[in-house]
């Protein structure tokens, strides 16, 4: 794969903790509005520009994209950002509690996405791709990096360690969720670039819609440029590449709002014929092929029949639960679109109990987190994960390092 240095536009150090913001797609409009309230520097004013427009504004209206471009230009004019003099690659540390992960920030080539060097595990929705593509073209910048992972290489680890040991961090701050973010310039970007040429492939961990939008924007700008050379900024997209072994995936639970017309007794009877059910005194410790269930005020362990298929998707617990329970018993035929099912990512059993007690879930299924190896196996097979399978934590920040297209 290719990871290129770039001349980042980045916040001045005194403002970085105010500018850097959660990704646009982990907050809705009201959450973004609350997070940005009283903070005129937040990148959410760019990435979720509808928060500055009248309540009820369609977030996909042209006015929103125009406002995003206006705000971004104003941020630049008011010198919230500085421009690197030379192309750089950056080391990016995220630390949450005892968990630490070191990534390298640079630009990937859109061709590596198109030809499958950068692999996907998730379907994208056309309307969400179109939204970010319109936003990217309006702002002429990529402020949210694509979150990549790769099978680690000792040579790259050594370059990261050298940068952290030798260089003073450009930034080092803790966000509102208690996540530490630190950024260093890699002292030898050419060495990093050369080391990544020995990485055969990378995988999108998070940011499938962002990646698709950046590639779409690049293709459109290429088609509109009769003097296209191939080295224009639109041929590349902003990314952070982490060694897969350093990453943490949290569970993504399933919450079903009703029993699809079944009584509680009927549900348990049919469930017992499909899977093995064991009542437990509390949230169960889970092994391979198991999930938890909170129903009727009690916790249960569900032992799922794991098929001997070679298909890595069919062996996922979320797939087995869908095929054995959610579909045939509860009538959830398409979990991507059925309004009766909700998903709770990165939370513990107490949150599932709260959702059930509040009437938001008639039954909640506690899932084990998938592994990075499972995700990469699915992508290598050219398949897609079931919806809401991966909750990578912590999330990247937007507005921290920006790749401009002009």
Domain match, 187 and 205 both: yes
Check whether residue 205 and residue 338 sit in a common domain. Answer: no
Q: What is the rounded distance in angstroms from the CA atom of residue 108 to the CA atom of residue 112?
A: 7
* 388: helix, strand or coil: coil
Whole-angstrom distance, CA of residue 66 vs CA of residue 140: 11
Q: Regarding beta strands 341-345 and 249-250, do their DSSP bridges make them parallel or antiparallel, or are they unpaired?
A: unpaired
- Same domain for 214 and 164, yes or no, is yes
3-state secondary structure of 130: helix
**Do residues 81 and 55 lie in contact, with contact meaning Cβ atoms separated by under 8 Å?**
no
Distance CA 81, CA 75 (A): 7
Q: Across the chain, what does the average pLDDT equal?
A: 97
Q: Determine, yes or no, domain membership for 388.
A: no
Please indicate, yes or no, whether residues 77 and 200 belong to a single structural domain of this protein: yes
Residues 199 and 308 in one domain: no
Q: Residue 383's pLDDT band (boundaries 50, 70, 90)?
A: very high
Our measurement of the distance from residue 326's CA atom to the centroid of its chain's CA atoms, rounded to an integer in Å, reads 25
Q: What is the pLDDT of residues 256-275, one digit of tens each?
A: 999 999 999 999 999 999 99
pTM over 0.85: yes
- Residue 200 covered by a domain: yes
Q: List, for residues 143-157, the tens digit of each pLDDT value.
A: 999 999 999 999 999
Q: Is residue 191 part of a domain?
A: yes
Q: Distance of CA 120 to CAs 12, 248, 324, 383, Å?
A: 34, 18, 26, 8
373 inside domain: no
d(CA 316, CA 302): 14
Distance CA 256, CA 294 (A): 11
Same domain flag for 280 and 201: no
Q: Is the pLDDT of residue 406 over 90?
A: no
Axis-axis angle for helices 154-166, 189-196 (nearest 10): 160
- What CA–CA distances, in Å, run from 295 to 259, 269, 346, 349, 380? 11, 13, 20, 12, 37
Same domain, 257 and 331: yes
**272 shares a domain with 242:** no
User: pLDDT by residue (tens digit) across 36-92?
Assistant: 999 999 999 999 999 999 999 999 999 999 999 999 999 999 999 999 999 999 999
Please give the residue range of the domain that contains residue 307.
252-368
> Are 297 and 362 in contact, with CB atoms under 8 Å apart?
no
pLDDT digits (tens, 9 = 90+) for 153-203: 999 999 999 999 999 999 999 999 999 999 999 999 999 999 999 999 999
What count of other Cβ atoms lies within 10 Å of the Cβ of residue 151? 15
In this structure, the answer to whether residues 46 and 190 fall within a common structural domain is yes
pLDDT digits (tens, 9 = 90+) for 385-403: 999 999 999 999 999 999 9
Confidence of residue 308 (pLDDT cuts 50, 70, 90): confident
The percent of residues above 70 in pLDDT, for the chain, comes to: 100
380 or 125, which is more confident: 380
Same domain, yes or no: 106 and 204: yes
DSSP labels for 55-113?
A: TT--TTSHHHHHHHHHHHHHHHHTTSEEE-SS-B-EEEEEEETTEEEEEEEEEEEHHHH
Query: Residue 107: its pLDDT value, please?
Result: 99
How many distinct structural domains can be found in the chain?
2
CA distance linking residue 191 with residue 117, whole number of Å: 20
The verdict on residue 1 lying in a domain is no
Q: Give the confidence band of 364 by pLDDT, cuts at 50, 70, 90.
A: very high
Give the per-residue pLDDT at 309.
81
């Amino acid at each position: 794969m290719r990871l290129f240095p770039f001349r980042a536009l980045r916040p001045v150090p005194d403002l970085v903790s105010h500018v850097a913001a959660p990704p646009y797609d982990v907050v809705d409009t009201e959450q973004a509005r609350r997070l940005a309230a009283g903070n005129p520097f937040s990148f959410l004013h760019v990435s979720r520009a509808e928060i500055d427009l009248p309540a009820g504004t369609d977030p996909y209206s042209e006015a929103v994209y125009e406002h995003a471009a206006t705000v971004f230009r104003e941020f630049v004019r008011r010198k919230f950002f500085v421009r690197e003099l030379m192309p750089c690659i950056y080391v990016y540390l995220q630390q949450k509690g005892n968990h630490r992960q070191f990534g390298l920030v640079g630009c990937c080539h859109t061709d590596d996405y198109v030809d499958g060097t950068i692999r996907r595990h998730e379907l994208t929705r056309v309307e969400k791709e179109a939204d970010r593509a319109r936003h990217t073209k309006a702002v002429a910048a990529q402020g949210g990096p694509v979150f990549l992972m790769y099978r680690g290489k000792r040579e790259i680890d050594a370059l990261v360690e050298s940068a952290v040991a030798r260089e003073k961090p450009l930034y080092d701050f803790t966000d509102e969720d208690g996540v530490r973010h630190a950024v260093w310039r890699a002292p030898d970007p050419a060495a990093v670039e050369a080391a990544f040429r020995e990485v055969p492939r990378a995988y999108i961990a998070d940011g499938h819609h962002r990646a698709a939008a950046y590639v779409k924007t690049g293709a459109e700008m290429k088609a509109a440029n009769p003097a296209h050379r191939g080295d224009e900024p639109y041929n590349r997209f902003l990314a952070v590449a982490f060694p897969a072994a350093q990453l943490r995936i949290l569970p993504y639970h399933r919450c079903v709002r009703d029993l699809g017309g079944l009584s509680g007794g009927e549900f348990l009877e049919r469930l017992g014929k499909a899977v093995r059910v064991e009542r437990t005194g509390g949230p169960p410790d889970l092994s391979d092929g198991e999930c938890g269930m909170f129903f009727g005020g009690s916790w249960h362990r569900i032992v799922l029949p794991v098929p001997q298929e070679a298909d890595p998707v069919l062996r996922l617990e979320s797939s087995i639960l869908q095929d054995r329970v959610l579909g045939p018993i509860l009538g959830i035929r398409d979990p991507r679109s059925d309004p009766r099912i909700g998903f709770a990512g990165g939370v513990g059993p107490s949150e599932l109990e709260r959702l059930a007690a509040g009437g938001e879930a008639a039954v909640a299924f506690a899932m084990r987190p998938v592994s990075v190896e499972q995700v990469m196996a699915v992508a290598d097979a050219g398949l897609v994960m079931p919806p809401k399978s991966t909750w990578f934590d912590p999330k990247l920040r937007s507005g921290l390092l920006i790749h401009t297209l002009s």
